[in-house]
Amino acid sequence: MLFLDLTVQGLVQGAIYALIALGLTLVYGLLRILHVAHAALFTLGAYLGVIVTNQTGSFALALAVAMVVVGVIGVGVYRFAYKPLLDQPPLVALIASIGLFIASEEIFRLVFGPYGLSFTDPPLQTQVEILPGIFLSHARLMVVGIAVVFLGLLGWLSASTRTGIAWRATVADPDMARSFGIDVERVRYLNFFIGSALAAAAGVMVALLNNLVEPTMGAVPAYKALAIIVLGGLGSVRGTLVASLALGVIEAFGTIYIGHLLDRDAIAFAFLIIVLMVRPQGILARG
């Protein structure tokens, strides 16, 4: 029973990781930048989700607004922060990104206050019994549902549309893509829009699960998501999915069985280091 329960909890957590990490993988695949500030977009999404829900009473509207607004801001981050740094060694963009992340945590604190926000009337809290003896709130089911829908959509988009094909071509070889007349710059904008919108969705979901958003809520996901995309083989979408779910489940079990030795984050990174020692290129290497 405990086994099943932990697995289910782990998978729910994994679904959230997947939503966050996907945007990060998309950016890495395209630009080879470790985009730490991605987590700031996640936090912003969470704030917008709570604020719009509280103002209008519609959670769906809030989700949509958060995704669109954060998507646009993500494009801005690319245009003004990363684009000028593309010729520099990757470390430069990484540090710049971290600077941006530190600054935005402060901006959230100054704008939204240090104590965090909650839903005045938390939506989707009813519990349902999904398996005998295992209860999940509607909110948790929604998290899994949203993850499946968006990731499915993304898969379809990249496999079957012109835009998706242009995107994959650009990831594989930007110069080649350019010579085929693909507007590489447009692909990058789109990439940041989609990745950031997914991060916002993840933020809204986490806000829903915890019923709390705080300025620093992005910190841990920021680092975990980095670990996940590395585990997944850096830039591999499928690897990222596998790694997200695996990490969610490992953490769920780890906190129960070795929680007295290491905390949750340390367990995640211990797993990361062990995997990398065995497979230095990640679980699923790019290819």
Interface ranges with other proteins (CB under 8 A): 28, 32, 34, 81, 84-85, 88-96, 98-107, 110, 223, 226-227, 230, 234, 260-270, 272-273, 276-277, 280-282
Burial of 120 by CB count in 10 Å (0-12 exposed, 13-18 middle, 19+ buried)?
A: exposed
Q: Least distance (Å) from other proteins to the CB of residue 171?
A: 16
- Give me the helix-helix angle, 184-210 and 38-56, nearest 10°: 60
Nearer to other proteins by C-beta: 24 or 52?
24
Write down the least CB distance from residue 72 to other proteins, Å: 20
Least separation, in Å, of the C-beta of 195 and other proteins?
A: 17
In whole angstroms, the minimum distance from the beta carbon of 75 to other proteins comes to 18
Residue (72 or 266) nearer to other proteins, CB: 266
Q: Which is nearer to other proteins, 98 or 134 (CB)?
A: 98
* 83 versus 186: smaller Cβ distance to other proteins: 83
Q: How far is the CB of 18 from other proteins (least distance, A)?
A: 18
* CA distances to 43, 114, 184, 225 from 214, in Å: 8, 7, 36, 18
Instruction: Name which of 17, 11, 14, 28 is nearest 236 in CA terms.
Output: 28
The answer for residues whose C-beta is within 8 angstroms of residue 154's C-beta and 6 or more apart is 22, 194, 198, 237
Min CB(205)–other proteins separation in Å: 23
Distance CA 287, CA 201 (A): 29
State which residue, 208 or 275, has the beta carbon closest to other proteins. 275
Beta carbon nearer to other proteins, 104 or 196: 104
